[in-house]
Structure 1
Amino acid sequence: MASKKYDVLLDADEWERRVFENKHKCINDWLRSKDSTNKSSSRRTLNSYSRTAARFFHEFFPEVHPSDVTVGDVEEYVLDLNDRDVAQNTKRRYIESLSAFYTWAMKRPRFEDITGNPAAVVLEEIPKKKRPRPETATWENGREIIRNIPDPRDKAAAILMAKTGARVREVLTVKESDLMLEDGFIRFTDRKGGHETVNPLDDESIQAIRRLQAISSDESEYLFTGIHGGRVKRERIRREIRRAAVKAGVMETEDEDRWHHKFTPHYYRTIFTSLMRNNGMPDHFTRYLRGDGDREVMDLYTKIPRDQVREEYIEIIKPLNLYGRADGGENR
């Protein structure tokens, strides 16, 4: 693991939040600066940045200072990634990390020996590859998978992913204090990039949460807790969704890895996005609810009453029909 190979620069309880030290002071200054401002980079992003920088400067070019890196060096690095069959978007993410450092350093006079961004040149030649929507990523498949999840805790996590578009990590870090069930909202405080969003919930999602609360006996601050009191791990949710997908006939086996034949928790995010956009939800609302909006989107969203957004959301979000209503209608 990287935690054994590299010294820790900025520590944290979770490995994914640790930032690893680099042999070059300018790299460490960049990582510390990003961590202190926290305007655009979460600790998980910095974890990735630090590991990419360590691999590049410690393993590939241990004798080369950042100021001496050339476009050819970055191209050589990409060729090595090609030889290892690294996916296109993963390669691009690695080069984006290096480019982010050079962009930052060039704006600081104290790094006068860094006069260019060799990674940016190569980055222009690595287009982001957009995969087509997986054939299994449909609302109907997602619904059947949820119906086949036996544990109420795991089921509630999947429901929130389906109904909010949140990532599995973002759902599992929800605290009891983040719930605004009387008003029909939930707060996600650990979204990618360090953002926080307040998302609307429909009656079915609220019912799932209340059922989970009714059977929970621990006093943890988190909504999703394991039998020993700690937070539920992402791998558990991934595993339970795979198992349920096989039971529902969506996947043939739990170890299915073909893009169009598997179903992962992230597919709920894909399904949610398509549902919102295909039914007329304003794009800046969708981007905010997904947690990937920039500051301009966040500012625009805050000017719109939450209840108005919730009304539009309720009109679009589909029911899973998991719980019957006394009046015979559908939960929304």
Structure 2
Amino acid sequence: MTGKTREKIYENEHDAVNDFIQRKEAMGRSRRTLNAYSRTLKSFFHEEFPDLAPEDVKVEHIEDYVGTLADRNLSRNTKRRYLESLSSFYGWTMKRPRFEDITGNPAAVVLEEIPQKYRDRPDCATWESAKKIVHNIADPRNKAIAVILAKTGCRIREALEIEQDDLMLDDGFIRLRERKGGSQTVVPVDEEVKHAIKRYRLVRPDSDSEYLFLSIRGNRVNTTQVQRAVRDAAVEAGVMDEGETRFHRKFTPHTFRTVFTTLMRNNEMPDHYLQYIRGDSNSRTMDIYTRVDRYDAKQSYLECIELLDL
């Protein structure tokens, strides 16, 4: 799925669905979240049940839909994500009197019966493995990306969305503007991150693009390029075997997030600072009551982060 496809918002034949999407957009939901909502609702009402109106959907229809998803060999968590979009729609309409014909949330009923599956931490997800991988990445651009992933715990998409104006290196911060849920966070970085970025900028293609990380053609780097670089470095470093596909045996860009989280917790970083730096979407409710000062977070970060020995 391309970046443009992930951000497309699909029209629906049902006014209630379009109203739901428009209201969520007005409330600041990210384009990717709106894409997930609209894509799932379009699939459900246009393709699976074209003759059903939202108020006519019953639990058995949702169960039939889950059966269709199962026929596609989708994982349990993927099926949950589809149902979460449907449940969000029904939960929203039930709280609006103008949709008086919608009196229940059939998706929520079925969702309760599909527990979320939590994967075990990969065996190779250690700080020592991360160090070996970073050391085996020769390209300055890919090395800088890997250093940011390892030392901020951000998601790969968030790192690739960094723009030139997001760098506040003199103050020891980087802005991550495309965090999960559409939020943005100014996160602390240490001298190794600064050095890796400055080294890359010496060879960065001459381009008017606002993005920091560019391909040799001057376009924004895509995730596949970084995934390949991390995989090759992991194999070369002996962290994983060539062709390894088992979750607990492979090291991917997202594994850096696990490594960072484990390191910070082992070094006793307070949870509210860790959640702030990681950009956890489920911490937003807490943040209403707990204001995180970026300089306090930076002090805690510098006390807990360890060196990659670059």
TM-score for both structures, normalised by structure 2:
0.94
- Runs (4+) of structure 1 exceeding 4 A deviation are none
Q: State whether residues 96 and 123 of structure 1, in contact with CA within 8 Å, keep that contact through their aligned partners in structure 2.
A: yes
Amino acid at match of 2:240: M
1:183 to 171, 185, 200: 171
Does structure 2 conserve the Cα–Cα contact (< 8 Å) formed by 1:89 and 1:128? Answer: yes
Q: Deviations over 1:204-229 (max 9, x none)?
A: 11110111112224243221111222
The one-letter amino acid of 1:152's match is P
Bigger mean CA offset, 80-89 vs 203-212: 80-89
- 1:167 pairs with 2:171: no
> Do 2:130 and 2:150's aligned partners in 1 also have CA atoms closer than 8 Å?
yes
Alpha-carbon shift at residue 85 of structure 1 (Å): 2.6
- How far has the Cα of 1:79 moved from its partner? 2.4
Q: How is 1:225-240 mapped onto 2 (pairs within 5 angstroms)?
A: 225-240=214-229
TM-score, length basis structure 1: 0.88
Could you tell which deviates more after superposition, 171-180 or 273-282? 273-282
Query: 139-148 or 287-296, which moves further after superposition?
Result: 287-296
Q: Is the 8 A contact 2:54 2:102 kept in 1?
A: yes
Q: Percent identity?
A: 54
Alpha-carbon deviations, 1:24-82, whole Å to 9, x = none?
Answer: 221121111111221xx311111111221122222221211111110111112122323
RMSD: 1.7
- Check whether the contact 2:159–2:176 (CA below 8 A) recurs between aligned residues: yes
For residue 326 of structure 1, what is the aligned residue in structure 2?
A: none
**In 1: Cα distance, 2:227 partner to 2:171 partner:** 30
Native 8 Å contact 2:276 2:292 kept in 1? no
Cα pair 1:285 1:301 within 8 Å, conserved? no
User: Which of 257, 264, 268 does residue 280 from structure 1 map onto?
Assistant: 268
* Uncovered stretches (5+) of structure 2, i.e. residues with no partner: none
Q: CA deviation at 1:307?
A: 2.6
What secondary structure, in the 3-state scheme, does the structure 2 residue paired with 1:199 have?
strand
Give the number of equivalent residue pairs: 308
In 2, are the aligned partners of 1:288 and 1:297 still within 8 Å (CA)?
A: no
Structure 1 unmatched runs, 5+? 4-12, 323-332
Letter in 2 for 1:99: S
- Find the counterpart in structure 1 of residue 24 from structure 2: 34
Helix, strand or coil at the partner of 2:47: helix
Match of 1:327 in 2: none
Between 16-25 and 197-206, the greater mean CA deviation after superposition: 16-25
State the alpha-carbon separation in 2 of the partners of residues 307 and 32 from structure 1.
37
More off after superposition, 112-121 vs 135-144: 135-144
What is the CA distance between 1:296 and its match in structure 2?
3.8
Structure 1 contact 204–319 (Cα < 8 Å) conserved:
yes
**Which one of 13, 19, 37 corresponds to residue 9 of structure 2?**
19
State whether residues 205 and 216 of structure 2, in contact with CA within 8 Å, keep that contact through their aligned partners in structure 1.
no
Candidates 300, 304, 307, aligned match of 1:316: 304
Shift of residue 15, structure 1, vs aligned partner: 1.9
Corresponding residue to 1:72 among 49, 54, 60: 60
